[in-house]
Amino acid sequence: MKKTILYGMLMLFFSSCATSSFYHLPSVEFKDIAYGFKTHYVKVRNIEVAYIDEGSGDNIILFIHGLGSNAKGWIKNIPDLSKQYRVIAVDLPGYGKSDKGYYPFSLTFYATVLTEMMTELGISEAVLTGHSMGGQIALVTALQHPHRVSKLVLISPAGFELFEPGEADWMRNAVTPEFVKETPIRNIDINLKSNFYKTPADAEFMITERIQVRGASDFDLYCYAVSKNVAAMLDEPVFDRLGDIDQSTLVIFGEKDGLIPNPYLHGGYTYDIAQDGIDQLPNANLIMMPDCGHFVQFEKATETNGAIFEFLKKK
């Protein structure tokens, strides 16, 4: 019973397949996945961090992906936004084309990596734009390094939803690296669709690539990162500190988000969780995107890009 519930809770990240053809996909290394943009690399704390860097100018948007994902999750946002801004989409350590290892996978660790990466690239401050776990990382960065964050864009952010100690303990203990690694190949269509209100046809790469990297040489380290990041989000709650964030903040949620609030532990309405967070933030605006699920920037890319453009125009 617990295993069934856990599969449902973590649909976004641990996919498997309902179509037999997926069983015959060739294995691929993380670094061989095509992003559609040139990949750059920078050394931070002796970790090779991969990133996409498009556009130009002094106004910089730094995209931070969510749990189990990578910089490719922003491929529908980079082309438009890079017309007016320099846009950087990072692969966090442990994910995508970045190095993987037994790092101290806390949100503080990621905040440090991001700010030191900015320093290496000669960037004094940026608009941190995070999806899901990336949203909570953006919040931690703003709290710990406020002078490096000009504004915040939080898309379906983790950190607004609160978990009881018993719930958090269960999730920490259940999501082990072995659990991630042994996720079966069945049910991937169902798992993927839980992230969308209406699954876009061009989202299939999220299915195929997740299956293909099961044979990657560093897949075990990816599984370790995912496991530790689940604990990290629980171990570094931000809700009670949202009032300390002074930056102008745009929060976007899909009205039909199937992952927030957690449907197995809490239930309820996404709007209520979103409003709880907005009520704590001193300088924030909320957009609820209609007919949209958790992966807002992909399912409603045009609307998301437009909302970010409007937000960044404001002083």
| pLDDT tens figures, 196-220 | 999 999 998 998 899 899 999 999 9
Cα distance between residue 315 and residue 310, in whole Å: 11
C-alpha of 286 from chain center? 19
Q: What is the tens place of the pLDDT at every residue in 99-126? A: 999 999 999 999 999 999 999 999 999 9
Are 49 and 113 in contact by the 8 Å Cβ rule? The answer is yes
Strand 249-254 and strand 284-289: the pairing is parallel
Matching residue, tokens 């239930």: 267
Q: What is the pLDDT of residue 311?
A: 98
- 202: containing domain: 2-313
pTM of the prediction?
0.93
* Dihedral class, residue 51 (left if φ above 0, else alpha if ψ from -120 to 50, else beta): beta
Q: What is the pLDDT of residue 183?
A: 77
CATH label of the domain that carries residue 132 = 3.40.50.1820
Q: What is the pLDDT of residue 224?
A: 98
Please check the confidence at residue 226 and state whether its pLDDT lies above 50: yes
Q: What is the tens place of the pLDDT at every residue in 266-310? A: 989 999 999 999 999 999 999 999 999 999 999 999 999 999 999
Cα distance between residue 21 and residue 114, in whole Å: 39
Of 81, 38, 26, 25, the C-alpha closest to 56 is 81
Matching residue, tokens 């809490």: 266
Kindly state the tokens that stand for 200: 């876009």
Q: What is the tens place of the pLDDT at every residue in 154-195? A: 999 999 999 999 999 999 999 999 988 887 766 456 667 788
Band (pLDDT 50/70/90 cuts) for residue 7 is very low
Matching residue, tokens 């920078």: 42
Cα distance between residue 59 and residue 88, in whole Å: 11
Among 29-43, 176-190, 237-251, 281-295, the minimum mean pLDDT is found in: 176-190
Please check the confidence at residue 127 and state whether its pLDDT lies above 60: yes
Are 197 and 296 in contact by the 8 Å Cβ rule? The answer is no
Tell me the residue length of the chain: 315
Provide the domain count of the chain. Answer: 1
